[in-house]
Structure 1
Amino acid sequence: MHKTKEIFINGFALFSMFFGAGNLILPPFLGKNAGSLWFWVTIGFFITAVFIPMIGILAHAKLQGTMYDFGKKVSPTFSLIYCFVVYTICIALPAPRTASVTHEMAIAPYFSNSSSLVTSTIYFGLVFLFTMNRSKVLNLLGKFLTPLIIFILLAIIFVGFFTAPDMITPTTLKAPFVDGLLEGYQTFDAIASIVVGGVLVISMNFNTNTTFEEKKELITKAGFIAGIGLLIIYAGLIYNGVLFSSTFSESANRTEILNSLSNQTLGNIGSVFLSVLVALACFTTAVGIITGTADYFKGISNNSQKIFTVTAIISCLLGIAVGQFDVKYIINIALPALMFIYPITIVLIVLNVLPEKYTSTLVFKSVVAVTFLFSIPDFLGFIINPNYLVEIKNNIPFANQNLGWVLPAILSFVFSNLIKSKKQIPTE
């Protein structure tokens, strides 16, 4: 009984970690555009927003280390650069996006003349204070916040099933599965699984006599519970986006769709309550990202408190600068960065969770190098997209769906394992 309770506690902790308020705005938007093909969109979204992040947690359970350990088999230099890039992306995109979501959901609907720059300045001023003081208030908020948001979302989903209009608009997506897959990148959850997963795994209250295998089993089952919870919420919100698609304006953005959905199902009071809770959840996410980033740079600088403070200041100033833009703009500028870092993150997660006999140093180096090489056209396609790049992408399988790295990565994994097996000297 005690073990079951521990599994559920850790499962809810994992759910809370991945359940960023920014993620809430993505599923209903997908549903609005998916129409009757919503199931394929959900499967695609589930792979990158739930399945891969859960595998990331399993990889942490296996490694029992930090994010640095994910890439050290490629090379120590690569791992350091990778960590730097990931943390930089975190403070430049998902952290500022929390301020933008807060402004669009909790401020702008009620204060029509409000300035997003003022909102992001006050927001990150408070984030800096909480980061420097590491207040326990955030932990208390987190314990009550997540259950409240889940309750409200389940209420929206449940009421929506019975009150939605009969008309469903046709799909506007050309490749629903791929669109769901790529929208899942915007949750940043695969990156989150390696950024804070190690901290979470280490901080779990395991008994001192718990064996490695028992810990692994606990994390696996907790991950399964968190994954099921995320899938229910995501699928429900996507489906509600489908059911209410005819009520949204064609130009409605992600936050407007979520606001409209909560207003149509729970009324004005429910919508206001959701806005406040989302703002608080965004705030705790921003503090977590910036604290984690500052901790990392402090750790590689001989535990210098000065470096921690400087990193927190730079992160908050960057948050003010980027957070004043609307959510749609931040999502658009995030795409090139995600096309660059997400494929590498996915292959590192998968390689670290596979058995050791299939993941030698040679395998790590070749798969990561090939993934990096074949993700360059996707990355450049969102920045310059010259004619010759179109020609290149036409000759790479799935490249026109921004998944040109997938098949080369798989082939590289197979061939490097074959080379490794041929090089091995038989034991007598």
Structure 2
Amino acid sequence: MSLSIRLKSTDVVAVGLMTFALFLGAGNLIFPPFLGQLAGEAVVPAAAGFLLTGVGLPLLGLMVAAKLGGGLDRFTQDLPKWAAMLTGIVLYLAIGPLFAAPRTAVVSYEMGVLPFVGEGSTGALAFYSAGFFLLTLVLALFPGRLIETVGKLITPLLVLVLIAIAIGVFVAPQGVVAEAGMHLEEPAFIYGFKQGYQTMDTLASLAFGIVIITALRQRGVEDRTDLTRYTVIAAIIAAVGLSVVYVVLSYLGATSYAVAAGAENGARILNLYITAVFGDWGMVILALTIGLACLTTSVGLMTACGEYFAEVLPVMGYRGYVVLCTIVSALIANMGLTELLAVTIPALLVVYPIAIALIMLCLFRERFAQPGIVFAFTLLPVLAISIVDGLSAAGLSFVQPLVDVYSHLPLQSSGLGWMVPGVAGFVVGMLKSGSPVRQESLA
């Protein structure tokens, strides 16, 4: 039996900080302030909904990954091979070079660099994204060093900067929570719940589980129980850290009317607010915060993509895929933030419900007599409705007759129409699979 090293408490904390930093990226910083400003006095239920999808689901995803002992390949092990591979490729492209990774560079540029260089700087975004992903590449090429580079070096600096922002927000608030802030067309909790989608953290949890486990193994941790325990501890540390950041930023947004009324996005709110609190140094503090947060997330995404594609499509090794993904990410980043977000939202409406359903199914997988049947009957209706929702959000009118057909489904008006068909499919799958509990578990 191979020896397994027990980590020191400082190393365990470093793994937790690394996990926190991997998740704390672009969307985590720009969506809560905008949410808080729109919600106003309803900021508490709005933030609660955001925490559910922005923290609760990713935490659950990491815990399930720890329980399964792997990444997405373990989540999809009960699907047909072609379906498992297709699911994996789509998800990793979404959180990697097509959407999430380019967004880390664009947001860090627009929030941290653009205020210094100005709108008319020709080629500034291209130059910045090239440098940003070059640094990402250097760090991602050595995944075994993530605990040192991210957990022990970059993240503590990021945490210090975030603490400075939090102190500034609560010591020198730029206003009171606005009574007239309720500009939402739906319940605040539901709005926050759906905004949590845009962090992409639930998708990332399916990928980051294997990044954490790989980092632990390269530190000498081999025992399955130890791997699970350390991964769960890291997930809890990350969840606590993210929750604190979201609460602070939501409160910032709710008290931002005096300095950022009518701001078009959370990035603008942050910029105006932090500058008002810290003066000219505010821009430097914000640039440092955004740059560090987006860099660590980018490194995690490229690492996860490299490990996945090297395993399922071994025409190139890990480093070859990391190089390819960083190049594609740098190119797509030049679309700009507005255009990137416009294509991201329809894609998320397709893949997010599938990710949520996979996590919930895998949480109880060992209790299914025939997991493959239960997975199929649950995921197919979820996928069907999610595809139509995504195409509709993309403005493709030919799906409107289908949208009209299921428009009266429970929760459809809140964007959760896939939930009831998914539960119904789950019940049918359980009935079709026979005993609700594996036969061997009864022995």
TM-score by length of 1: 0.88
Identity among equivalent positions (%) equals 28
Partner of 2:371 in structure 1?
360
C-alpha separation between the residues in 2 aligned to 1:189 and 1:58? Answer: 14
Deviation at 1:38, TM superposition (A): 0.9
Instruction: State how 1:341-356 maps to structure 2 within 5 Å.
Output: 341-356=351-366
Instruction: State how 1:60-99 maps to structure 2 within 5 Å.
Output: 60-89=65-94, 90-99=96-105
Amino acid at match of 1:101: V
Instruction: State how 1:355-394 maps to structure 2 within 5 Å.
Output: 355-358=365-368, 360-386=371-397, 387-394=400-407
Query: 1:149·1:274 contact (CA, 8 Å) conserved in 2?
Result: no
Query: 2:373·2:432 contact (CA, 8 Å) conserved in 1?
Result: no
Deviation at 1:315, TM superposition (A): 2.7
Q: Structure 1 residues 298, 36: CA separation in 2 closer, same or farther (over 3 Å shift)?
A: same
Partner of 1:294 in structure 2?
306
Matched residue SS, 1:395: coil
Amino acid at match of 2:409: I
Bigger drift between 5-14 and 134-143 goes to 134-143
Partner of 1:318 in structure 2?
328
C-alpha separation between the residues in 2 aligned to 1:72 and 1:135? Answer: 26
What count of residue pairs does the alignment treat as equivalent? 425
- Deviations 1:236-267, CA, capped at 9 Å, x for gaps: 11011101234213143221111122222233
Query: 1:154·1:233 contact (CA, 8 Å) conserved in 2?
Result: no
Unaligned residue ranges in structure 2 (runs of 5+): 1-5
Matched residue SS, 2:71: coil
Query: 1:70·1:349 contact (CA, 8 Å) conserved in 2?
Result: yes
Query: 1:378·1:404 contact (CA, 8 Å) conserved in 2?
Result: no
Deviation at 1:349, TM superposition (A): 1.1
Amino acid at match of 1:178: I
Q: Structure 1 residues 319, 219: CA separation in 2 closer, same or farther (over 3 Å shift)?
A: closer
C-alpha separation between the residues in 2 aligned to 1:380 and 1:261? Answer: 36
Matched residue SS, 1:110: helix
The alignment's C-alpha RMSD in Å is: 3.1
Amino acid at match of 1:405: W
Matched, 1:336 2:346: yes
Match of 1:174 among 185, 193, 196: 185
Partner of 1:149 in structure 2?
158
Deviation at 1:139, TM superposition (A): 4.3
Bigger drift between 45-54 and 281-290 goes to 281-290
Q: Structure 1 residues 343, 9: CA separation in 2 closer, same or farther (over 3 Å shift)?
A: same
Match of 2:316 among 285, 288, 304: 304
Q: Structure 1 residues 12, 99: CA separation in 2 closer, same or farther (over 3 Å shift)?
A: closer
Q: Structure 1 residues 2, 201: CA separation in 2 closer, same or farther (over 3 Å shift)?
A: closer
Query: 1:31·1:241 contact (CA, 8 Å) conserved in 2?
Result: yes
Match of 1:158 among 143, 160, 167: 167
Deviation at 1:409, TM superposition (A): 1.1
Query: 2:111·2:271 contact (CA, 8 Å) conserved in 1?
Result: yes
TM-score by length of 2: 0.85
Bigger drift between 259-268 and 98-107 goes to 259-268
Deviation at 1:209, TM superposition (A): 8.6
- Deviations 1:157-211, CA, capped at 9 Å, x for gaps: 3332242223614211122222212221111111111112112124326886956
Instruction: State how 1:87-236 maps to structure 2 within 5 Å.
Output: 87-89=92-94, 90-112=96-118, 113-114=120-121, 115-128=124-137, 131=140, 139-140=148-149, 142-164=151-173, 165-166=175-176, 168=178, 169-175=180-186, 176-204=188-216, 212=225, 215-236=227-248
C-alpha separation between the residues in 1 aligned to 2:144 and 2:434? Answer: 53
Amino acid at match of 1:324: N
C-alpha separation between the residues in 1 aligned to 2:359 and 2:245? Answer: 24
Instruction: State how 1:252-267 maps to structure 2 within 5 Å.
Output: 252-267=264-279
C-alpha separation between the residues in 2 aligned to 1:412 and 1:27? Answer: 34
Deviation at 1:274, TM superposition (A): 2.9
Amino acid at match of 1:70: F
Bigger drift between 150-159 and 106-115 goes to 150-159
Unaligned residue ranges in structure 1 (runs of 5+): none
Partner of 2:19 in structure 1?
14
C-alpha separation between the residues in 1 aligned to 2:148 and 2:7? Answer: 23
Partner of 2:42 in structure 1?
37
